[in-house]
Amino acid sequence: MPLTPIADLSQHGFLQLYRKDDDAIRAELSRGLLDAHATTSPKFLYDALGSKLFEAICELPEYYPTRTEGAIFAAHMDGIAASAGHGSVLIDLGAGNCAKAARLFPALRPRHYVPVDISVEFLRTAVDGLRRRFPEIRMTGLGMDFSHALDLPSGVPDEGRLFFYPGSSIGNFGPGEARALLADVHTACGSDGGLLIGVDLLKDARLLSAAYDDALGVTASFNLNLLRHLNHLLEADFDVRDWRHRAIFNPDLGRIEMHLEARRHVTVTWQGGRRIFREGERIHTESSYKYTRQAFVQLLEDAGFSDVSCWTDEREWFLVCHARAG
């Protein structure tokens, strides 16, 4: 859906540019569920409850990406700030609770913070709390789905844009999709902008599998909550008790896959669709691609970025990059 240009955002603390198109959502979900290998987009994992469950996942001992990325920023913040600069328009893609960006405010000192997320009410609450903590920073929350189009309102300043995409969220996209998204970000940067991004690196499959299938079962709850969300969106009749969480490392594709696996033969119906799932049949709900340092830098360069600076942890589990658009 095209966005209506907004010349002046000074009176807007929050802009809801995402408008749920129920028919389009149902069509997208129905197509995926009826595919030969059933699938859903990972964006549907993040309803209000899903967003809170993901916050809990980030606190788990098995889930190393959040704390490893945080440690890289803590250890190298001076160098990152020197590369990224100060006084930027910090555009936070998939901002969630905005906590990662907020930790960078003292070093980056952005003049304008623009968090973007599809989970509108969750983001609105986060921005309201953040505004009270940092009243000196202008903030404009954008409720929008940037995975389809990165059309920012005209009132977001063109100069000094720094896109922030942490948490290896880029890994949810296949390599071709990731290149296309990064190319869109490059275009949106303008001539003097840049990108600050975190990406998970390839490592031992046991570490990867544990991070997506924790002992407490929080990730399982996060994945299974998708079924409740589908029931709401599709008027479907999924029974959570009929399904189990699976996390599998696919070495050929270099990715962790999350699936929901039928515990028994089950028939699911929804508005406009019906499918019989055999015992053991799966719905692919998320992929998380892992990169080598060389491969990810090449991906950034293929998308048009240059002058890439990188920082990693001692074990080389995770990578933070700043790349310039010009």
pLDDT for the residue 188: 95
Question: Mind listing the pLDDT tens digit for each residue in 133-157?
Answer: 999 999 999 988 887 778 888 779 9
Question: Mind listing the pLDDT tens digit for each residue in 157-180?
Answer: 999 999 999 999 999 999 999 999
pLDDT for the residue 149: 76
The answer to whether the Cα torsion of 126, 129, 134, 138 is positive or negative is positive
Reading phi first (left if > 0) and then psi (alpha if -120 to 50, else beta), residue 280 is in left
pLDDT for the residue 3: 35
Residue type, 272: G
* CATH number listed for the domain at residues 58-203+290-324: 3.40.50.150
Could you state, in order of their start, the residue ranges of all structural domains in the chain?
A: 58-203+290-324, 204-289
CA end-to-end span of the chain, whole Å?
29
Please state whether the predicted TM-score (pTM) of the whole model is above 0.75. yes
pLDDT for the residue 19: 61
Question: Mind listing the pLDDT tens digit for each residue in 61-84?
Answer: 999 999 999 999 999 999 999 999
Given a cut of 80, is residue 8 above it in pLDDT? no
